[in-house]
């Protein structure tokens, strides 16, 4: 049984529908990333899964299950097995880091020792610091320390590394990966595509409340185009290049191809025969960023074609 099941979820606030009929599953021990721009519906989805919000009433609202339980109806039981790192939640500013963790240890069953939680989140040296004196990144780490105190079976992480410096971010990634290796199921939302690609085995990209792309991370990226880029030699035109679909972006040639390594080989052979150098050559396989940008480009094209067809219709009506 999947640890997290979302089936046809819909959530509205008044006239505004934040999440529209989305479905996905997260098997136990996997890390699943929910991606999307601000307002895409990621946090609402997570809040429903965490039991803070109920799906829309009636059969159109869909169902969500966490460890086989309804997170709203069985909230107390679900929360005992779940750790939640909210995107926005306050701290008691006058308590120290150690006092905060100690207080939270009283709130959960069988908690980790305080030092272990602080060590995992690299906050040991801040134990005696008042929460109001912590930086944004340190507060996120304290957030994580509180979320993992109860050794949860399922962990919800909403933008877990926002505000962290690169070193803290990498250490946090290690903690998250370790937890998944130990069997914790993790659902995370993030703006950092590199983070999602590094951590998650599956993902869904949301836009305006819908899932517009999703599946296994490796399979999804394998289906995407890679990228070969280099500075266009002075005496050469783009149309002369031996790779189809090359475009000029500034002075840089960009080729989007399914097999960028083969394209690079072809280009280097072609350049070698002509005694040309391909300065600034970059070869990389598809990344989430590419996928994300492709989806955005598709969306803009759809909007433009929608506007044009609207204009045409108007003309026809007139």
Partner 1 sequence: MTVSARDLAVLTRFSGRLFWRDRAAQSTSVGLFLGLGIGLPFLMDRLRPGRPDFVVDQHVGVLTMVLVLATFGQITITLTARRDQLLLKRMRATGLADRDILGGEVANLVVQGTGLAAVVSVALYALTSLPVPRDPLLYLLAVVAGAAVLCLLGTAFTAAVPRAELAAVMSMPVFLLSGFGAGGFGPLLQMAPEWVRAVFELLPSSAVAEVARVAYAADGSLVGDLQAAAVPALKLAVWAAVGLAATARWFRWEIRRP
Q: Which of residues 87-106 bind partner 1 (CB under 8 A)?
A: 88-92, 94, 103-104, 106
Q: How far is the CB of 151 from partner 1 (least distance, A)?
A: 12
* 133: contact with partner 1 by CB under 8 A: no
Give the separation between CA 45 and CA 189, rounded to whole angstroms.
10
* 310: contact with partner 1 by CB under 8 A: no
Token readout for 201 is: 């085995």
DSSP string, 214-254: EEEHHHHHHTS-EEEEEEPPTT--GGGSSSTT-EEETTEEE
Number of residues counted as binding partner 1 (CB under 8 A): 23
* 132: contact with partner 1 by CB under 8 A: no
Q: Which is nearer to partner 1, 106 or 273 (CB)?
A: 106
Phi, then psi, of 110 in degrees rounded to 5: 45, 60
35 beta partners = 205
How far does Cα 278 stand from its chain's mean position? 34
* 76: contact with partner 1 by CB under 8 A: yes
Give the separation between CA 254 and CA 246, rounded to whole angstroms.
6
* 32: contact with partner 1 by CB under 8 A: no
Binding segment (CB under 8 A) for partner 1, from list 32-40, 85-93, 184-192, 254-262: 85-93
Binding partner 1 (rule: CB under 8 A), the pick from 1, 15, 57, 109 is 109
Token readout for 194 is: 């590199």
The residue ranges that bind partner 1 (CB under 8 A) are 13, 50, 52, 76, 79-80, 84, 86, 88-92, 94, 103-104, 106-109, 146-147, 150
């Amino acid at each position: 049984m999947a640890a997290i099941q979302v089936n046809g979820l819909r959530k509205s606030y008044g006239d505004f529908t934040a999440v529209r009929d989305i479905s996905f599953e997260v098997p136990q021990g996997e890390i699943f990333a929910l991606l999307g721009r601000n307002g895409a519906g990621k946090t609402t989805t997570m809040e429903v899964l965490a039991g803070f919000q109920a799906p829309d009433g009636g059969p159109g609202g869909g169902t969500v299950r966490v460890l086989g339980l309804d997170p709203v109806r069985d909230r107390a039981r679900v929360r005992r097995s779940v750790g939640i790192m909210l995107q926005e939640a306050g701290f008691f500013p006058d308590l120290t880091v150690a006092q905060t963790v100690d207080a939270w240890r009283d709130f959960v069953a069988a908690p980790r020792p305080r030092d272990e939680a602080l060590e995992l989140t690299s906050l040991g040296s801040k134990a005696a610091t008042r929460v109001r004196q912590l930086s944004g990144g340190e507060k996120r780490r304290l957030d994580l320390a509180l979320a993992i105190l109860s050794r949860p079976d399922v962990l919800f992480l909403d933008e877990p590394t926002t505000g962290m410096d690169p070193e803290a971010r990498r250490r946090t990634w290690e903690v998250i990966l370790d937890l998944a290796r130990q069997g914790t199921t993790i659902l995370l939302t993030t703006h950092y595509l590199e983070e999602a690609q590094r951590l998650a085995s599956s993902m869904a990209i949301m836009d305006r409340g819908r899932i517009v792309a999703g599946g296994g991370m490796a399979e999804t990226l394998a289906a995407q185009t890679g990228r070969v880029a280099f500075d266009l030699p002075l005496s050469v035109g783009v149309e002369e290049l031996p790779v189809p679909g090359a475009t000029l972006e500034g002075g840089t040639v960009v080729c989007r191809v399914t097999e960028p390594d083969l394209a690079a080989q072809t280009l280097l052979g072609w350049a070698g025969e002509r005694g040309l150098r391909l300065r600034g050559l970059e070869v990389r396989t598809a990344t989430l960023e590419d996928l994300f940008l492709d989806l955005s480009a598709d969306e803009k094209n759809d909007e433009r074609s929608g506007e044009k067809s609207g204009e045409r219709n108007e003309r026809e009506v007139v």
